[in-house]
Amino acid sequence: ESWSEFLEATAAVGPIDVLVNNAGIMPIGRFIDEDDAISRAVFDVNVLGCGLGMKMVVPGMIARGGGHVVNVASAVGRLPLADGASYSASKAAVIAMSEAVRDELAHDGIDVSVILPTAVETALAAGISHAKGVKHLAPEDVARAIVGVVRRPRAETWVPRSGGLMVAASAVLPRSVRLGLQRLISADTVLSDADTTARASYEQELRRKIGRA
């Protein structure tokens, strides 16, 4: 219903040339302790919300013979983190869905791009610790990447670019070596060491909206 209302409200401005699916939620904690309603909400917002956006907007793009979809995923979609199982899985799903839809729309003049940022300084990342050598991004960093990919379409864009190089390099390493490197830069505890006090308001608001306060 909200998508229909949005499309009706913006129709007078003109057709949608670029759709950016950016909505996302990130509860953290051990997966086995996660409330089922929270798990479902993560996939409802992060995956199904992204898919619904495409279903609502892309047909109009196809009718006009062109358009661009930009789906904001996450670095953890390629490099999952402990204490963020549902979020990591949801972002991996966004990447896979984007790749499949890109192939489906290859002959319709529609570009589908995926943005993979590391932690961004928003409420979602409140209290999240830093892996060594990986700084948190400002929202403007991701915005610039989105504008850049709209101007020059690319299938996958990492923010920062070094993140993609790091994941590509780690993919060819034995698992034991990869885990050792993650421990070396404290990437394995980025979420488990989060400041729960700093995250309290975000987590409480998240549960309130889901009805699990």
CA dihedral (156, 161, 163, 169) in degrees, to 10, reads 80
Question: Which CB contacts under 8 angstroms, 24+ apart, belong to 181-185?
Answer: 184/132, 185/131, 185/132, 185/133, 185/134
- What pLDDT is attached to residue 149? 97
- What pLDDT is attached to residue 97? 98
The pTM of the full predicted model, rounded to 2 decimals, is 0.90
Active-site option among 87, 88, 118, 124:
87
202 is catalytic: no
Domains of the chain with bracketed CATH: 11-204 (3.40.50.720)
- What pLDDT is attached to residue 129? 79
For 82-92, b where at least 16 C-beta lie within 10 A, e where not — what string? bbbbbbbbbbb
> Of 175, 144, 186, nearest to 161 (Cα)?
144
Task: Give me the tens of pLDDT residue by residue for the chain, a chain 213 residues long.
Answer: 888 999 999 999 999 999 999 999 999 999 999 999 999 999 999 999 999 999 999 999 999 999 999 999 999 999 899 999 999 999 999 999 999 999 999 999 999 999 999 889 999 999 987 777 677 799 999 999 999 999 999 999 999 887 777 676 666 778 777 677 667 666 778 888 899 999 999 999 999 988 865
Q: Are strands 18-21 and 67-72 parallel, antiparallel or unpaired?
A: parallel
Q: What is the pLDDT of residues 163-181, one digit of tens each?
A: 777 676 666 778 777 677 6
Strand partners, 120: 137
